[in-house]
Each structure stands twice: as structure tokens, then as C-alpha cells.
Amino acid sequence: MEDIILENLSKDFGGFRAVDNVNLTIKSGELFSFLGPSGCGKTTLLRMIAGFELPSSGAVRLGDQDISDLPPYKREVNTIFQNYSLFPHMTLFDNVAFGLRIKRRPKGEIKERVQEMLNLVKMEDQAAKYPNQISGGQKQRIAIARALINKPHVLLLDEPLAALDLKLRQHMLIELMNIHDAVGITFIYVTHDQSEAMSISDRLAVMNRGKIVQSGPPDDIYERPASIFSAYFIGETNLVSGTVTAVYKDYVELDCPDGSGKSFQIDSSFQKTPEAGSRITLSLRPEKIAIARNKPRHQDDINMIKGQIEDILYLGTHTQYIVRVGLLKFRVFSQHKRVYFDDKALDWEENVWLFWHDTDTWVVETLEGEEMPETELNEGGNLQRYVKRGKS
Amino acid sequence: MQNSLQTKQEHRKNLSSWLLSLPTLIWLSCFFLIPYLIVTIYSFLSPDIYDVKFEVSLDAYRQIFSGDYLRPFILSFRLAIYTTLLCIVLGFPVAYFIARAKEKTKNLLLIFIIIPFWTNLIIRIFSWRIFLAYNGVMNDTLMNMGLISQPLEILRTDLAVILVMVYVYLPYMILPLYSVLEKLDFTLLNAAMDLGANEVKAFFRITLPLAVEGIFAGTLLVFIPALGAYLIPQLVGNQQSLYIGQVITYKIKNIPRNWPMASALSLTLLLLVAFLLLVMYGLYRHHQKRKVWQ
């Protein structure tokens, strides 16, 4: 088994650079995801690995072999297409058998292997049906069986769950992980859905404007975002930008947009301490922040800020509070644990304390030319992002 | 209660559709069914110099079945088969190209296909005569270019007939092929290539099977008219190889006339076409039955 290596890979469409100098090694057997908004170049990248697009520069390598210029039918790479692309004029059996028939394998072998594949995806009793007679989830399974029958080194999955409804999506995600474990080959998964990518991947790469912004294991990217983009694209976050006015041991003082000086406690053993005078952005995950009516007991490693509740959104698993602190707004996720709130629930306009551990104040390097996303830190921001995610 | 209401509604629907098709039915019976009845009756009568004698005779059919007219039938079938095959082979790439073109270019290209229909058929055939003639445009050009030393004798050959037939009937093949290829999901070809099929295999296993309906429709539109071709063989063909359409015409035009023979030949051709239609319909139904997928 061989690694997939992308070397200085770029793709231009006319004047538009869809993929911009990507360098990456995807290890053999890994379940790797490319995650990014639509138009970030992730599908183009996938199509270059599959052979549907030729790179403008750079190379795609499978182990020692440069496969950049090979046509799709000569690559030991198979694809699950977004709309499955099952052949409508063939039975499910014939669909799965297609790859072997092209290779002119003997009939007995074809029958055996197709059966094996149909068993793998639990579709053995539907072989005689046609693609239009089965559901979306079943089409998905057949597409997987069809792609795996050629025993590829790598399976590419292009937004494979986008067409399914939520419950089925969650179910298929687990199924995909089981299939990955069963066949043991490299899976490269492309999605714009961060929860999908986080739950399924061994490692993932966050992409924006043709570039890989950050790559690593999901928890690493979530807990330690390397840029503003990965901080706000993966999960929810509060971003606070400002100029560092003073640095103490485990303290930074920020000149915040509201003109107030605020100090944030950070753990310098956990991350690099920024220099005074530099512009930085802090990322505070909403679920890391605790909210309470009474001032908590002072502790050395705890940040504390006083604010006022502006909005409350009840979401079942948790409640989202929007808390105004001066001109800043913080989003806070809190579960309804009666252990904490045995008194009456928090209400609109109430004055509250927000507090979080110093390791959760994550200093994000502001990359050259990177701007704060408009939807963040303003009132409608939260809701807009919920709507956006639900749509596609 | 609801059921009876439904059946009532269905009755009314049936009645209205009958009423609406009544004018067509009357038209067809007057100008199609009754003439054919006359043709049928004529085919069983005896010939006279100008007209028919009302004496029952099976001579016409006897001659047909003894094989006297086998040659024109074979020639016509051969012409229809060649024309259809050439139209498929030449029309497919054109239809494919148009189907894959950008939306705006598509319409423009389709107009180009349709433009010849705006000119009268006879005028178009005559221009081919001028083009193909012994000292016509084509020979002049080729001689001037030094590609040939003597004019080619193409006009008045079977080749000229096929050439012009294909020219006239090509749009009838392109349009139905275009309409199926336009609906074809081209990512299926990507999928086939991803699974190991090269361009040729992908074409024969995916594109062609999914275009079968267009080929059926195009064949229907080309083969059957080509079988009865008269005008084109008459204008660009020769008198040594007469097609069935020409033979029928001569039976009526040349004196002594032979109306019963012409009628019997027409009827035989009609029955052959009807038989072919049934076969094609059967094939199509077979294809549809397998094709539960649309």
C-alpha cells in the first residue's frame, strides 16, 4: 500500500486559481478529509487525484509513481460521486460488476466478487433491481461496492452524504467508518460539513481559497486552530481581535474594538505568548465558557468577565446565551445542569459572570491579509451561520 | 361513493377525448383509409391501356410472388439500410457535439441543422445535380486542384443516390439523437472511466445503450421514408437500377398503364413497412420492459 503525495499542486481555470500550491502526504490506510466552504478548491483537488483534471503545475504521486498525467482509467483510485452516478440501464449487480467486466475477468470470479461486495454493503438481496428502484442510502451503498470491487489503493468520496437526510447521514457515516476498517485502504473524503469531517476523519485539512489552511487530527484543529478561518469554520467560536498593549506572565492585555482595555489570562506553557504591540485574535469556544449569576470564587487560572444577557436561544441539548460585554458580544453554550442552576433560570437582561480556564483562551495567529469574518461578533451572526449550514 | 365519482369523471374524460379526435378520424378515413381501399380493390382487377377492366385477376400478385419485382424491392431495402446506417454513424457525433455544447451555441447549432428545411426539397436536389455533374462544381474544383485528371462520374450512379439521401435525411436522425443525448448525464461517463473504461468502452457501454431510444426514433424517421424514395433516385440516379417507388410510378405513367400492378406493388410495400413497424415496435417494447428505470 502506498501514500498519496501532493507536491506543489496547483490548478488554474482561466485566470482563477482553484488549487494553490498544495503540499500534503496522505498516509496509506488513512481516512483523510478535505473540509472547506464551496468553491475552496477541495473538489478540484479530488478530481486531480482521480484524474478528471490535470494539474497546472505540481504532481500527484501514489507512492513512488507519478500519476499526474495518467487518465482516470489507469489509476488505482476509485471515486464515489456526489450523485452516485449509478448506470441507470444496468441492474445493481451489473453496476457493481462493471469494473471487473471492463477488465474481462472470468464470469465465476465476477459473480463471486460482486456477491462479496454486495455482502459488504448489505445489499445482497437487491442485486436484480435497477438504480431507480432503490433509495438514496441504498444507492450510496451500491456506489461504494462498485468503487471498491477494483480493489483500489485509494477511495475518493466527493460529498457522498450531501443528498441524504440527517438521520441517514449519521447512520451512513458510521457505516462508512466500518467499511473503511473492513477494507483497510485510504479514504479521501471531501465535504463542507465540519461535523461530518470531524467525526469520520483520522486527519483533516481545512481549505480556503485553494490553499490548505491547516491540517491535522480533528481535535487538534478544533482545540488549537491555526488561523481565524479554521477557528470559525470548524465549530462555533468567539473571536476577539485587538492590539496587545501589555504582556505579563500568563496575561495579555488587549486593546479591544470597544476602546476598553481588557486583560485575558492565557497559559504560556500551553501556547506561544504574543508580543506587545502585535495584533492578535483570541478564539474562545462557546462551550468552554461558563455562565453564572454570582461571581465565582477567585482562582489563578480562571478568566472572569462581567456582562449582560442579550439573547437566549433554547436548542435542546444546550442553551445559547448571547452576552454583551461592553461593545463585545460573547456566545456561550450552557447545558441545563441542575447541579449548577438549582436556583431559577437565567433571564434576559440579567447581569452575569462569564468565566473560563486560561488554556481555553486560544491565541490565533492572524495570517497576512486575513480578515475577520463579517458574520462573527455581531448580533445576527449566530443565526446566519445556522441558516447557512442547514441549507446546503 | 368516491369510486363512482371517479369512474364518472373518467367516462367524461374518455368521451371528450373521443370527441376531440373526431375531426382527425374523419379526415383520415376520407383521405387515407378510403383511398387505400380503392388501391386494394384495383390491385385485384385487370389492366387496360388507360384504365382498369372490372374483371377480377390475381395476375399482379402472381407476378410479384414469382419474383419479377424482387430487384427493385432489394434495391430499395439496400438503399434504406445504407441511408439509415450512414445517418446514424454521421449523425451521432454531430448530435453528441451539439448536446455537449454551451446553451447558447446549442441553439445556434440546432438552427443550422434545421435551416435546410427552409428550402424546397427539389431545389436542394437540383443543386446537388449541379454540384455532382460531369462538368459540375465538384469536378471543376478537383480538376483545378489537380487531384483528378478526369471528371468523376458520380451523378446518375447509386452512390449519388445514397449521398443525396443521407444529405436529406440526416437532420431526421440528428434531432432525435440530440434529444436523448441532451438528457444524458455525462458524469456517468466519468464514473465509467473511473472504473477502468477508456473512452471507447465508455461510449459502447454507457452512451450508446442510453441513446437507444433516439436511434429507434431516428431509424423510424429515416428508414421508412427511404424505403419509398422516388424523387431522389429519379433526379440523381440512373435508369438501370430502378427503386420500387420509381417502378410504381412508371406503371401508372407509361402507356399501356398497369393500375393493378402499381396498386399491388404499393400494397406490398405498405404491408412490408407495416411488418417492419411491428417488429420495431416489438423490439422497442422489449427494450422498454427491460428499462424499468425511467
CATH of the domain at A94: 3.40.50.300
pLDDT of amino acid A251: 75
* Residues A124, A272 share a domain: no
- CA A185 – CA B69 distance, rounded (Å): 70
User: B292–A132: do the CB atoms touch at under 8 Å?
Assistant: yes
* Of residues A87, A98, A133, nearest to B292 (C-beta): A133
> What's the length of chain A?
392
Please give the average per-residue pLDDT across A302-328, as a whole number: 87
- CA A174 – CA A169 distance, rounded (Å): 9
* Banded pLDDT at A1 (limits 50, 70, 90): low
User: B195–A88: do the CB atoms touch at under 8 Å?
Assistant: no
Higher pLDDT, A271 or A337: A271
User: B195–A98: do the CB atoms touch at under 8 Å?
Assistant: yes
Contact assessment for residue B109 and residue B194, using Cβ atoms and an 8 Å cutoff: no
Contact assessment for residue B44 and residue B260, using Cβ atoms and an 8 Å cutoff: yes
* Residues A384, A237 share a domain: yes
Contact assessment for residue B252 and residue B262, using Cβ atoms and an 8 Å cutoff: yes
User: B198–A130: do the CB atoms touch at under 8 Å?
Assistant: no
Q: In this predicted model, what pLDDT tens digit does every residue of A30-68 receive, in sequence order?
A: 999 999 998 899 999 999 999 999 999 999 999 999 999
- Position A390 pLDDT exceeds 80: no
Q: In this predicted model, what pLDDT tens digit does every residue of B29-55 receive, in sequence order?
A: 999 999 999 999 999 999 998 888 899
Candidates B180, B195, B286, B287: best to mutate against A (most CBs of A within 10 A) is B195
User: A81–B205: do the CB atoms touch at under 8 Å?
Assistant: no
Sort out which chain B residues have CB atoms less than 8 A from A158's CB and list them: none
Q: In this predicted model, what pLDDT tens digit does every residue of A262-273 receive, in sequence order?
A: 777 777 667 777
pTM for the structure as a whole: 0.81
User: B193–A73: do the CB atoms touch at under 8 Å?
Assistant: yes
* Of residues A79, A86, A87, nearest to B194 (C-beta): A79
- CA A384 – CA A226 distance, rounded (Å): 24
* Residues A301, A358 share a domain: yes
Contact assessment for residue A269 and residue A318, using Cβ atoms and an 8 Å cutoff: no
The whole-angstrom distance between B169's CA and the closest CA on chain A is 29
Sort out which chain A residues have CB atoms less than 8 A from B195's CB and list them: 73, 78, 98-99, 102, 146-147, 150
* Residue tagged 489552511 (cell numbers): A213
* Residues A235, A211 share a domain: no
Please give the average per-residue pLDDT across A117-137, as a whole number: 92
The whole-angstrom distance between B59's CA and the closest CA on chain A is 51
Beta-strand relationship, A203-208 and A251-255 = unpaired
Cβ–Cβ pairs < 8 A, chains A and B: 69
Contact assessment for residue A76 and residue A103, using Cβ atoms and an 8 Å cutoff: no
Candidates A102, A144, A155: best to mutate against B (most CBs of B within 10 A) is A102
* Residues A16, A125 share a domain: yes
Q: Is the bond into B256 cis (omega within 30 degrees of 0)?
A: yes
pLDDT of amino acid A341: 52
φ, ψ for residue B83 (rounded to 5)? Answer: -60, -45
Counting residues of chain A whose pLDDT is more than 70, the rounded percentage is: 88
Q: In this predicted model, what pLDDT tens digit does every residue of B242-289 receive, in sequence order?
A: 999 999 999 999 989 999 999 999 999 999 999 999 998 898 888 777
Question: What ipTM goes with this model?
Answer: 0.81
Contact assessment for residue A89 and residue B291, using Cβ atoms and an 8 Å cutoff: yes
User: A87–B291: do the CB atoms touch at under 8 Å?
Assistant: no
Say what angle helices B70-100 and B244-253 make with each other, to 10 degrees: 130
Sort out which chain B residues have CB atoms less than 8 A from A157's CB and list them: none
Q: What share of chain B is helix, strand, coil (3-state, %, to 5)?
A: 75, 0, 20
Structure letter (DSSP) for residue B55: -
Sort out which chain B residues have CB atoms less than 8 A from A72's CB and list them: 190, 193-194
Where is the domain boundary, A206, A223, A240? Answer: A223
* Residues A155, A8 share a domain: yes
Could you give the angle at the alpha carbon of B89 between the alpha carbons of B88 and B95, nearest 5°?
A: 70
- Which residue, A101, A80, A238, A60, is CA-closest to A162? A80
Q: Which three cell numbers stand for residue B169?
A: 435525411
Contact assessment for residue A250 and residue A266, using Cβ atoms and an 8 Å cutoff: yes
- Position B81 pLDDT exceeds 90: yes
* Banded pLDDT at A347 (limits 50, 70, 90): confident
- Position A388 pLDDT exceeds 80: no
Contact assessment for residue A186 and residue A154, using Cβ atoms and an 8 Å cutoff: yes
Contact assessment for residue B243 and residue B76, using Cβ atoms and an 8 Å cutoff: yes
- What dotted CATH number matches B69-259+283-290? 1.10.3720.10
pLDDT of amino acid A385: 33
Chain B residue with CA closest to A85: the answer is B188
- Position A343 pLDDT exceeds 80: no
Domains of chain B: which residue ranges?
69-259+283-290
The whole-angstrom distance between B184's CA and the closest CA on chain A is 10
Sort out which chain A residues have CB atoms less than 8 A from B192's CB and list them: 87, 98
pLDDT of amino acid A302: 85
Beta strands per DSSP E along A186-259: 186-191, 203-208, 211-216, 238-248, 251-255
pLDDT of amino acid B2: 55
- CA A17 – CA B217 distance, rounded (Å): 45
Candidates B183, B194, B204: best to mutate against A (most CBs of A within 10 A) is B194
Question: Residue A267 region, left (φ>0) first, then alpha (ψ -120 to 50), else beta?
Answer: beta
* Residue tagged 446514424 (cell numbers): B88
Number of domains in chain A: 2
User: B196–A79: do the CB atoms touch at under 8 Å?
Assistant: no
Beta-strand relationship, A203-208 and A186-191 = unpaired
User: A87–B191: do the CB atoms touch at under 8 Å?
Assistant: yes
Mean pLDDT of all residues in chain B? 91
Q: Which residues pair with A331 in a beta bridge?
A: A322
Sort out which chain B residues have CB atoms less than 8 A from A139's CB and list them: none
User: B188–A85: do the CB atoms touch at under 8 Å?
Assistant: yes
Say what angle helices B259-290 and B212-227 make with each other, to 10 degrees: 180
Helices (H), A261-380: none
Higher pLDDT, B43 or A240: B43
Other CB atoms within 10 A of residue A96 CB: 31
Mean pLDDT of all residues in chain A? 85
Range with lowest mean pLDDT among A9-23, A189-203, A205-219, A227-241: A227-241
* Banded pLDDT at A386 (limits 50, 70, 90): very low
Q: In this predicted model, what pLDDT tens digit does every residue of B100-153 receive, in sequence order?
A: 999 999 999 999 999 988 999 999 999 999 999 988 899 999 999 988 888 888
* Residues A263, A121 share a domain: no
pLDDT of amino acid A286: 92
Sort out which chain A residues have CB atoms less than 8 A from B190's CB and list them: 52, 72, 79, 81, 85
CA B177 from centre of chain: 15
Largest CA distance in chain A: 77
Sort out which chain B residues have CB atoms less than 8 A from A86's CB and list them: 191
User: A89–B293: do the CB atoms touch at under 8 Å?
Assistant: yes
Chain A residue with CA closest to B210: the answer is A89
Which secondary-structure segment (H or E) carries A207?
strand A203-208
Q: In this predicted model, what pLDDT tens digit does every residue of B173-192 receive, in sequence order?
A: 999 999 999 999 989 999 99
User: B195–A147: do the CB atoms touch at under 8 Å?
Assistant: yes
* Residues A79, A54 share a domain: yes
- CA B216 – CA B222 distance, rounded (Å): 10
Q: Is A16 on the interface with B (CB under 8 A)?
A: no
Sort out which chain B residues have CB atoms less than 8 A from A89's CB and list them: 209-210, 291, 293
Contact assessment for residue A22 and residue A45, using Cβ atoms and an 8 Å cutoff: yes
Where is the domain boundary, A155, A189, A223? Answer: A223
* Residues A186, A238 share a domain: no
- In sequence order, the 6+-apart residues with CB closer than 8 A to the CB of A311 are A321, A322, A348
* Of residues A102, A131, A150, nearest to B201 (C-beta): A102
Q: Is B67 on the interface with A (CB under 8 A)?
A: no
- CA B86 – CA B159 distance, rounded (Å): 12
Q: What share of chain A is helix, strand, coil (3-state, %, to 5)?
A: 30, 35, 40
User: A89–B201: do the CB atoms touch at under 8 Å?
Assistant: no
Q: Which three cell numbers stand for residue B80?
A: 434504406
Please give the average per-residue pLDDT across A146-174, as a whole number: 92
* Of residues B191, B210, B291, nearest to A85 (C-beta): B191
pLDDT of amino acid A253: 77
Where is the domain boundary, A198, A223, A248? Answer: A223
- Position A376 pLDDT exceeds 70: no
Q: Give the domain extent around A9.
A: 4-223
The whole-angstrom distance between A79's CA and the closest CA on chain B is 7
Q: Is B189 on the interface with A (CB under 8 A)?
A: no
* Residues A186, A91 share a domain: yes
User: A72–B205: do the CB atoms touch at under 8 Å?
Assistant: no
